[in-house]
């Protein structure tokens, strides 16, 4: 079938939009958070992450809370089999993400959404901007605190602790505005594609 000029233009526009989306998706991994002064509370929380061991096994005051956690853990493990083939690795990852999310007062589905968009669950992901690990944390956060080797950000709990504390810090600075906080986390404050991608992923992990 012959294409009209309008049809051809529409096709080219769709291709262009698709290429732009692919280019943006690649840039998502840049993770260019900005270096800035930290409050004592944020500095203390991040410093503790450099000395943290494995997260504690969750304890619950009520059996119903324990049951909800177990249902969540089983559901998430089933969804992450391809990313973490070893059952022990899946459980450790999910236990850590759950614990650090609760500690920072964040929705665990949101944190999983950030990890999905930032690193696609790759522990040793490195962006073009130099951000590291699951939550694509910039090395200057470590140097700011202790001058330690930034490779500590490849440690599961250290990385997730840093990512959650930084995201909480940005959310507080933006007075609860998730779009601005997520944009700040990615170094794209005021732009919609990154926050929209994370919030869409968050719904997938509910």
Write down the pLDDT at residue 148: 74
Active site residue 118: yes
Instruction: Please give the structure tokens belonging to residue 171.
Output: 């959310």
pLDDT tens digits, residue range 17-57?
A: 333 333 333 444 445 666 666 666 766 767 666 666 677 78
Number of C-alpha atoms within 13 angstroms, CB side, residue 45?
19
Write down the pLDDT at residue 98: 96
What 8-state DSSP symbol labels residue 105? T
Predicted TM-score (pTM) of the model is: 0.78
| CATH code at 31-204 | 1.10.530
Catalytic residue among 92, 118, 144, 174: 118
Write down the pLDDT at residue 200: 97
Instruction: Please give the structure tokens belonging to residue 84.
Output: 């973490």
DSSP secondary structure letters along 22-75: HHHHHHGGG--PPP----HHHHHHHHHHTT--SPPPP--SSHHHHHHHHHHHHH
DSSP secondary structure letters along 146-178: T---GGGGGSHHHHHHHHHHHHHHHHHHTTT-H
Closest alpha carbon to 167 in 126, 90, 113, 120: 113
Write down the pLDDT at residue 52: 61
Write down the pLDDT at residue 62: 94
Under-70 pLDDT residues of the chain: 1-40, 42-43, 45, 47-53, 144-147
Ordered by start, the domain boundaries in the chain are 31-204
User: Contact, 161 vs 155, CB < 8 A?
Assistant: no
């Amino acid at each position: 079938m012959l294409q009209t000029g309008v049809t051809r233009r529409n096709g080219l526009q769709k291709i262009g939009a698709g290429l732009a989306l692919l280019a943006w998706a690649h840039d998502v991994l840049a993770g260019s958070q900005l270096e800035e002064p930290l409050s004592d509370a944020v500095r203390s929380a991040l410093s503790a992450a450099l000395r943290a061991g494995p997260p504690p096994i969750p304890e619950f005051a009520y059996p119903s809370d324990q049951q909800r956690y177990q249902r969540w853990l089983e559901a998430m493990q089933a969804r992450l089999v391809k990313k973490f083939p070893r059952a022990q690795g899946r459980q450790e990852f999910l236990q850590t993400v759950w614990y650090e999310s609760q500690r920072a007062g964040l929705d665990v589905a949101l944190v999983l959404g950030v990890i999905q968009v930032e690193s696609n669950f790759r522990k040793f992901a490195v962006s073009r901007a130099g951000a590291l690990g699951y939550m694509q944390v910039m090395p200057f956060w470590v140097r700011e605190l202790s001058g330690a080797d930034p490779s500590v950000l490849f440690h599961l709990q250290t990385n997730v602790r840093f990512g959650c504390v930084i995201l909480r810090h940005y959310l507080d600075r933006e007075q609860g505005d998730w779009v601005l906080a997520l944009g700040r986390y990615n170094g794209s404050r005021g732009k919609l594609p990154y926050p929209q991608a994370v919030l869409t992923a968050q719904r997938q992990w509910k």
